Structure 1
Amino acid sequence: MEFVTIFLGLFLSYFLLQAIFSVFGVAKSKNLPPGPTPIPIIGSLHLLGDHPHQSLARLAKIHGPIMFLKLGQISTLVISSATAAKEVLQTQDLAFSSRHIPDALNAHSQSEYSVVWLPVSTQWRALRKILNFNIFSGKSLDANQHLRSKKVQELVAYCRKASQSKETVDIGRAAFRTTLNLLSNTIFSKDLADPYHEDSGREFKDLVRDIMVEAGKPNLVDFFPMFRKIDPQGIRRRMTRYFGKLHATSEELIQERLKLKRLKQEDVLDVLLEICHKNPDEINSAHVKSMFVDLFVAGTDTTSNSLEWAMAELLRNPHTMAKAKEELKDVIGKGKLVDEADISRLPYLQCIVKETLRLHPPVPLLIPRKTETKVTLNGYIVPEGTQVLVNAWAIGRDPFTWDDSLEFKPERFLNSELDVRGRDFELIPFGAGRRICPGLPLAVRMLPVMLGSLLNNFDWDIGLEELDMTEKFGITLQKSEPLCVVPIPAT
């Protein structure tokens, strides 16, 4: 692995004694959760591999759902069951509510202003309130429903144009453009990509992909903080450049709006600028730009990835797709767009979305947390400063919870009250507790509408006997190979 190679060339002798003392110090601690025995210097880093969520799930089968590892110099707790997740995310939510910040997110001071990475505090509560009230509240979402409907219409129109020329559609890229324009219209009242052009938005999507990959890849600095100043892999330097591009775009749009003071758009940007003017101690321009980064990076990537996984699973399971299309035909009529008001009348479509999120949670290890003080968890001692990873990917595939846990079976939810909104810890693709993803209300509206509209208007020709379902690990879970299919007008 890249970081191991670099590490071995950096002051190996210096680390040896320190690492050994560190390992023995952990070994003498009492009541730590079980876990693999660390080896000098690297601890259990060698066990992570290229897909840490999968490796940690396998280790949890040996050591249990509450597992302690030493990753370099970093103590790490891994949670891999619904029962343990409930204890961490609900019962002792406050004790586990701080963030463990990857060094990559210190680039451009993103972690100092972002609602995702700030600790629970007065500042965090103020930013979270702004998000919840002005963007993700039921009232705000209802007011912007016409925007989402328009963007879905554009997505279907793009696919219809491709069908006429028998061209393939990159589902993830098309969904990304749709979500990007939805967010940009909600915030800035303008499109950031041409909804009808395949290459439009490519640079923005590539930028978001690069951010997710860099933030999710193993970073020597995260395991050995003393290397922070030299950034040996250059991850923070690259992230500084990537965040800088997003901040520059935001700054340009903000300045453009400030020049048009009399032309009020009454969108999110207007609201934020008004709050900045009236309450500069509550939110300033740095918070605004970091908020836009959070929204555009997390909102576009997670939604487009989830739609791509859903379509891939349906193409692998044609009987499930046929059943979904039959429901759509019976309830709203073939060839029509799905409206948000239709979702409650489409239970099988909702089941497909839940099953997709069970098998392919957008953030497989959720966003890492950290203990600020020593915590007792199920009789175990979790030391102060421990990184906490909740393996939503493993929880969604737990055979003790789910029958045929690796099979795509939406029917399992038909007579079930389980939901993705953070109340049922068997299914937590958006997290739970006070740090649950603020964008959840938008995602649960957008995903079924986009997916249902694509299914109800087209048949899909994959042109392959077997579909590649390999995962590409980052902060978010992407398909290694883009899903490119030819839309055929539904008959």
Structure 2
Amino acid sequence: MAVIAQAWSWWWRASNDQDATARSVLTILIVILVLLWHAFRPKKRLPPGPPAWPLFGNLLGLPRNLHEHFTQLSRHYGPMIRVRLGSKLAVVVSSPSIAEEILKDQDLVFANHDTSLVAKIISDNGNDVVWGPYGQAWRLLRRVCVRELLNSVSLDMLYEVRRSEVRQLLAGIWAKSGAPVNISEQVSACALDATATMLWGGSIVDEEGGGKAAAEIKRLIGEITELLGVPNVSDFFPILASLDLQGVQRQMRDIRAKFDGIFDSMIKKRSEKREKGNDFLGFLLKMKEEGDEKTPLTTTQMKGILIDLVVGGTDTTSNTVAWAMTELLKNPEVMRKAQQEIELVVGRDQHVEESHLTKLPYLGAVIKEVLRLHPTLPLLVPHSPSSPSKVAGFDIPVGTRVMINVWAIHRDPKYWDHPSVFDPDRFLRKPDLDFSGRDFHYFPFGSGRRICVGITLAERMIFLILASLLHSFDWHVVGGEKIDTTEKFGIVLKQANPLSAIPSPRSHCRELCI
């Protein structure tokens, strides 16, 4: 390339000197040098993949359910495939061994997430835990979350909050006995209020003065996960980013502005008080005031953490419980066994408590099986290498979007018997499989440095809510309708048609729910 640059310099001087002959000779020379450079430069050995159209790549042929489409492609092209998304190179991994190479052996190289434009907007350019670039500031934010909120000791201290919200959930469902209940909607409201109370000591209603605010927050959470899963032309053709042809960037800016308004008001009220409180927000404010010269905590980072926890704490819980109830209604024998186990451990006249959960191995197997078939993030959060890398013998350039198809890995017939069948017993036979990310045949919450920070909270909330719903009610679908397990792809794998089921109070429910 240095030779080409020198030739260009000569051509430019010849052009200024109006020497036509020299200019012609040098033009031919430059063309020859460019052709030789392209012919003999080292070629990248990219993973195999489907043929791509000029300019558009593979965009034109992409269906809606990408996790299924990529699974089909991997069966044809291999466990690591290449797809072109406009000008963006993407690599999809559907192999446990290759996933381990990326998330364990080369964890540091792939520690950054590939951040889309809408992700940058909602995170205010990576000022949070989910989308922030790996480095000192990110490590601080993650450490703050784990140390002050998401460790076992802190969660034990906040158990009464979760307990109270679940009791309210049961009371609300009892009041609707005999009528269809939208499971996801009910659980989402419970999880949101529990998360809010754990974060700043009061529900959304307490802070904002009415049920409308809580409904608005739930709507915004749904819109965030929806927009994060929309294929955005601006990401695939950066030259078009300023046009925002689909309007998704504008929509996400509006959502971020609304969250900023809510959190700014909350932070202002709390900052005006001498006592900041003993909740998570109070700790963040104290930390910000005390300061740290090397890694000071900013208001933007505080709001980023709060958005991460509100969205993650609400969506993961409601989504998983909804899928669990769907699979249990499809498999009534499994539901019956789970209810029998709960009744045997808890008793008929007692509430389910978190202390019971470790004594419910079959229910634990049910939840694991739900997250095997319906992982919350089917392609996880995309990674991106910070330096050129080789994986499984293939070159992965900087800037590549690397997607781990955990949905496909969880259904690999080489490891899972009858992988499409809902069978919790498989986890009783493999009790070592858990949510830690150590086994790359099963890692619904990711693995490595960027493993989900809220696993412990999610596990407790899902267990407690699902066990309580099964303990207090029998469930059946409206008019004997067929159970719909159609998936709606996005960054979060949701139900295409949300489940509605009719609760019938069990004989002991009245005393527990009133």
Q: TM-score, normalised by structure 2?
A: 0.87
Aligned match of 1:206? 219
CA shift, 1:259, in A, is: 2.3
Distance 1:135 1:220 in 2: 38
Name which of 243, 249, 266 aligns with 1:230.
243
Superimposed CA distance per residue, residues 245-283 of structure 1 (whole angstroms, 9 cap, x where no aligned partner):
112111111112122223x43100110000001115421
Aligned residues of 1:180 and 1:193 also touching (Cα < 8 A): no
Name which of 151, 156, 159 aligns with 1:137.
151
Q: Does 1:221 align with 2:234?
A: yes
Distance 2:450 2:337 in 1: 36
Aligned residues of 1:328 and 1:334 also touching (Cα < 8 A): no
Q: 1:114 to 1:296 in 2, by over 3 A?
A: same
Q: Does 1:433 align with 2:448?
A: yes
Distance 1:304 1:39 in 2: 40
SS in 2 for 1:94: coil
Read off the aligned partner of 2:116 and give its amino acid letter.
Answer: P
CA shift, 1:303, in A, is: 1.2
Q: Does 1:352 align with 2:366?
A: yes
Task: Name which of structure 1's ranges 243-252 and 344-353 shifts more when overlaid on structure 2.
Answer: 243-252
CA shift, 1:106, in A, is: 2.4
Aligned match of 1:458? 473
CA shift, 1:338, in A, is: 2.0
Task: Name which of structure 1's ranges 351-360 and 326-335 shifts more when overlaid on structure 2.
Answer: 326-335
Read off the aligned partner of 1:414 and give its amino acid letter.
Answer: L
Distance 1:221 1:490 in 2: 53
Aligned match of 1:393? 407
Q: Does 1:184 align with 2:196?
A: yes
Distance 1:398 1:88 in 2: 19
Task: Name which of structure 1's ranges 253-262 and 81-90 shifts more when overlaid on structure 2.
Answer: 253-262
Q: 1:78 to 1:198 in 2, by over 3 A?
A: same
RMSD, aligned α-carbons: 2.0
Matches within 5 A, 1:466-485: 466-485=482-501
Aligned match of 2:112? 98
Distance 1:487 1:91 in 2: 48
Q: Does 1:371 align with 2:415?
A: no
Aligned match of 2:13? none
CA shift, 1:364, in A, is: 0.9
Aligned residues of 2:326 and 2:483 also touching (Cα < 8 A): yes
Distance 1:288 1:89 in 2: 28
Aligned match of 1:6? none
SS in 1 for 2:262: helix
CA shift, 1:461, in A, is: 2.2
Matches within 5 A, 1:410-449: 410-416=424-430, 417-449=432-464
Matches within 5 A, 1:92-131: 92-107=106-121, 110-131=124-145
Superimposed CA distance per residue, residues 204-261 of structure 1 (whole angstroms, 9 cap, x where no aligned partner):
2221111111111111011111111221111111000011111211111111212222
CA shift, 1:392, in A, is: 1.2
Read off the aligned partner of 2:446 and give its amino acid letter.
Answer: G
Distance 2:262 2:374 in 1: 31
Aligned match of 1:341? 355
Aligned match of 1:12? none
State the identity %: 37
Superimposed CA distance per residue, residues 135-183 of structure 1 (whole angstroms, 9 cap, x where no aligned partner):
11111111111111111111111111111xx222211011111111111
Read off the aligned partner of 2:290 and give its amino acid letter.
Answer: K
Distance 1:488 1:109 in 2: 42
Q: Does 1:255 align with 2:252?
A: no
Structure 1 gap ranges (5+) = 1-20
Aligned residues of 2:126 and 2:133 also touching (Cα < 8 A): no
Matches within 5 A, 1:294-373: 294-334=308-348, 336-373=350-387
Aligned residues of 1:47 and 1:55 also touching (Cα < 8 A): no
Aligned match of 2:174? 160
CA shift, 1:305, in A, is: 0.5
Name which of 257, 267, 273 aligns with 1:244.
257
Which structure has the larger Rg? 2
Q: 1:108 to 1:136 in 2, by over 3 A?
A: closer
Superimposed CA distance per residue, residues 424-460 of structure 1 (whole angstroms, 9 cap, x where no aligned partner):
1111111000100000011111111110110011001
Q: 1:243 to 1:335 in 2, by over 3 A?
A: farther
Distance 1:193 1:58 in 2: 46
Distance 1:479 1:193 in 2: 28
SS in 2 for 1:408: coil
Distance 1:296 1:66 in 2: 34
Task: Name which of structure 1's ranges 83-92 and 343-352 shifts more when overlaid on structure 2.
Answer: 83-92
Q: 1:66 to 1:130 in 2, by over 3 A?
A: same
Aligned residues of 1:177 and 1:193 also touching (Cα < 8 A): no
Distance 1:334 1:224 in 2: 60
Distance 1:334 1:108 in 2: 45
CA shift, 1:200, in A, is: 7.8
SS in 1 for 2:503: strand
Distance 1:276 1:404 in 2: 52
Superimposed CA distance per residue, residues 396-443 of structure 1 (whole angstroms, 9 cap, x where no aligned partner):
111111111011100100121111221111111110001000000111
Aligned match of 1:8? none
Task: Name which of structure 1's ranges 272-281 and 357-366 shifts more when overlaid on structure 2.
Answer: 272-281
Distance 1:171 1:212 in 2: 18
SS in 1 for 2:125: helix
Aligned residues of 2:365 and 2:425 also touching (Cα < 8 A): yes
Q: TM-score, normalised by structure 1?
A: 0.91
Read off the aligned partner of 2:495 and give its amino acid letter.
Answer: K
Q: Does 1:383 align with 2:383?
A: no
Distance 1:248 1:419 in 2: 39
Superimposed CA distance per residue, residues 302-324 of structure 1 (whole angstroms, 9 cap, x where no aligned partner):
11101100001001110100010
Aligned residues of 2:118 and 2:252 also touching (Cα < 8 A): yes
SS in 1 for 2:429: coil
SS in 1 for 2:289: helix
Name which of 268, 293, 297 aligns with 2:280.
268
Aligned match of 2:506? 490
Aligned match of 1:7? none
Aligned residues of 1:67 and 1:79 also touching (Cα < 8 A): yes
Aligned residues of 1:306 and 1:357 also touching (Cα < 8 A): yes
Aligned residues of 2:205 and 2:211 also touching (Cα < 8 A): no
SS in 2 for 1:96: coil
Aligned residues of 1:77 and 1:386 also touching (Cα < 8 A): yes
Q: 1:198 to 1:335 in 2, by over 3 A?
A: farther
Aligned residues: 463
Distance 1:111 1:200 in 2: 26
